[in-house]
């Protein structure tokens, strides 16, 4: 009798869990891979799976997406239209110079109004200390405006140094704003920003919500950008915190890639900041277009001619623009594809394209970390890396600390640097920003970084995977099943 009661209790719980799982997963529009992955989690882990879903699976509200799509910064459309006119007025010689990039220009312009900017001077950083030295110097020299946007600004030595500098500039009368992700920054850190606010600076958590609602891993502001006086911009993979300058006890050296841009691309970064700030701000705190934020750049002010487009993507957009940019890069490759990413969890489309490229004779090189910072994510990364290896690609594990760079270079001509990893989370769940550059010198520098990193890496072969235990291989295969939600 007792056994029969237990059976019926288990059966009822199973049926109720199944019904709840189906309702939960199908309540929001998702791709088929995500649907099956979440059903697997909710069914394998009754009750507990719903707590996992609350942390990882909840989608952003329709009303919030609508606000983000339609929120207005007066005059921004004029900037886009002016830049389109510049593109239309290019001379035949200038058009010939960018002929190979026509498909990229049209792709990004049509999907997200990511206009081409040509007058840009670019400086590359492959580690944190040098980048922050340059950034802090630019902040000290700021005259009118500073806009800062990061996934993580930690309450540690580096984070406080940044806030102290911004506080000094606010006291001087410079208009300073800071936008950060509350989850990525380990909370609001109100004490750290207290002196900054008192000096007249403004800080906000992106799409700020009460803490229980914020406690989720999806729909995070993952961009890392700074714009100073509307003339100097920073974009890349580095957040603000001691670990990003090599002070982490766990990882030691932190290998990343970031850009300093002087020129018209800074205006595109400024536009992105306006959009993100106004999606969060209310009332008089919303930003409006003015020449102070969008100054005209004289040709003599910019000592460079790197052509680039600032491309952003997120769950507020209908198209996965950065993913499509990566796909276009892979599809255009004739000779080589070079990728650095801490998380390699591509969807099936990108994985197939990379495999086909490798099997077709294109030299495909992938570099990932040698140590995990997220166990499931790293095991899935290993699974997909082995697939690429089996197709004829080259795989390297970076051994000198942690590799966090997000870089793609194709044929030594077209490159991308930014915040987006080569994974499904960056493609659809996070708000990301990348610079796509059409400059052979920049591409050569990025490939030189890769080749220097190869000296500190292990080239993976079949024996590397054969030596792994059966348990580790199982974790790789199981993590692959969860890859759409990792």
Q: Give me the sign of the Cα torsion angle 434, 435, 440, 443.
A: negative
- Token couple for 344: 């390699």
Among 435, 410, 473, which residue's Cα sits nearest to residue 312? 435
For tokens 């019904």, the residue is 19
Q: Give me the sign of the Cα torsion angle 71, 74, 78, 79.
A: negative
- Token couple for 78: 């004029």
Residues with catalytic roles: 222, 224, 229, 404, 406, 411
Give dist(CA 107, CA 326) in Å, integer.
Answer: 11
Give dist(CA 256, CA 403) in Å, integer.
Answer: 6
* Sequential DSSP letters for 51-103: HHHHHHTPPPPHHHHHHHHH---TTHHHHHHHHHHHHHT--HHHHHHTGGGHH
* Sequential DSSP letters for 92-147: HHHHHHTGGGHHHHHHHHHHH----B--EEEEEEEEHHHHHHHHHHHHHT--SEEE
Give dist(CA 459, CA 318) in Å, integer.
Answer: 38
Give dist(CA 315, CA 321) in Å, integer.
Answer: 11
- Token couple for 17: 């869990």
Among 317, 321, 327, 367, which residue's Cα sits nearest to residue 351? 327
State in Å, rounded, how far the first CA of the chain is from the last one: 44
* Alpha carbon 84 to chain centroid, angstroms: 26
Give dist(CA 222, CA 419) in Å, integer.
Answer: 7
Give dist(CA 131, CA 208) in Å, integer.
Answer: 28
Burial (CB < 10 A; 0-12, 13-18, 19+), residue 355, is middle
Spatial contact of 368 and 397, defined as CB atoms under 8 Å apart: yes
Q: Give me the sign of the Cα torsion angle 115, 116, 119, 123.
A: positive
Burial (CB < 10 A; 0-12, 13-18, 19+), residue 449, is buried
């Amino acid at each position: 009798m007792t056994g029969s009661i237990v059976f019926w209790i288990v059966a009822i719980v199973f049926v109720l869990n199944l019904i709840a799982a189906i309702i939960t997963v199908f309540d929001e529009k998702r791709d088929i891979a995500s649907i099956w992955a979440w059903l697997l989690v909710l069914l394998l882990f009754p009750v507990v799976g719903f707590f996992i879903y609350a942390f990882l699976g909840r989608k952003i509200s329709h009303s919030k997406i609508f606000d983000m799509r339609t929120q207005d910064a007066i005059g921004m459309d004029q900037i886009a239209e002016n830049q389109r006119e510049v593109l239309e007025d290019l001379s035949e010689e200038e058009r010939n110079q960018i002929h190979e990039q026509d498909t990229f220009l049209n792709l990004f312009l049509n999907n997200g109004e990511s206009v081409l900017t040509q007058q840009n001077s670019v400086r590359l950083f492959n580690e944190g200390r040098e980048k922050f030295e340059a950034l802090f110097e630019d902040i000290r020299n700021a005259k009118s405006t500073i806009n800062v946007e990061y996934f993580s600004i930690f309450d540690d030595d580096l984070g406080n140094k940044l806030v102290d500098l911004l506080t000094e500039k606010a006291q001087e009368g410079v208009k300073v704003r800071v936008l950060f992700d509350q989850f990525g920054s380990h909370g609001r850190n109100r004490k750290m920003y207290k002196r900054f606010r008192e000096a007249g600076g403004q800080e906000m958590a992106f799409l700020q919500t009460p803490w229980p609602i914020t406690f989720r891993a999806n729909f995070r502001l993952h961009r890392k950008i700074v714009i100073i006086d509307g003339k100097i911009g920073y974009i890349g993979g580095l957040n603000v915190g001691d670990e990003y300058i090599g002070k982490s006890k766990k990882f030691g050296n932190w290998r990343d890639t970031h850009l300093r841009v002087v020129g018209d691309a800074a205006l595109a970064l400024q536009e992105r900041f306006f959009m993100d700030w106004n999606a969060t701000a209310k009332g008089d705190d919303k930003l409006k277009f003015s020449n102070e934020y969008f100054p005209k750049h004289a040709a003599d002010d910019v000592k460079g001619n790197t052509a680039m487009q600032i491309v952003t993507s997120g769950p507020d957009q209908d198209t996965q623009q950065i993913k499509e940019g990566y796909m276009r890069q892979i599809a255009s490759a004739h000779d080589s594809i070079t990728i650095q990413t801490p998380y390699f969890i591509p969807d099936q489309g990108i994985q197939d394209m990379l495999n086909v490229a490798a099997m077709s004779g294109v030299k495909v090189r992938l570099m990932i970390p040698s140590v995990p910072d997220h166990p499931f994510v790293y095991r899935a990364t290993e699974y997909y890396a082995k697939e690429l290896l089996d197709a004829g690609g080259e795989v390297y594990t970076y051994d000198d600390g942690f590799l966090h760079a997000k870089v793609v270079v194709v044929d030594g001509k077209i490159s991308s640097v930014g915040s987006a990893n080569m994974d499904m989370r960056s493609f659809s769940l996070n708000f990301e920003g990348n610079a796509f550059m059409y400059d052979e010198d920049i591409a050569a520098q990025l490939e030189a970084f890769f080749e220097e990193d190869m000296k500190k890496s292990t080239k993976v072969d079949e024996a590397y995977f054969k030596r792994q235990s059966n348990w580790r291989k199982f974790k790789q295969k199981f993590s692959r099943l969860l890859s759409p939600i990792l």
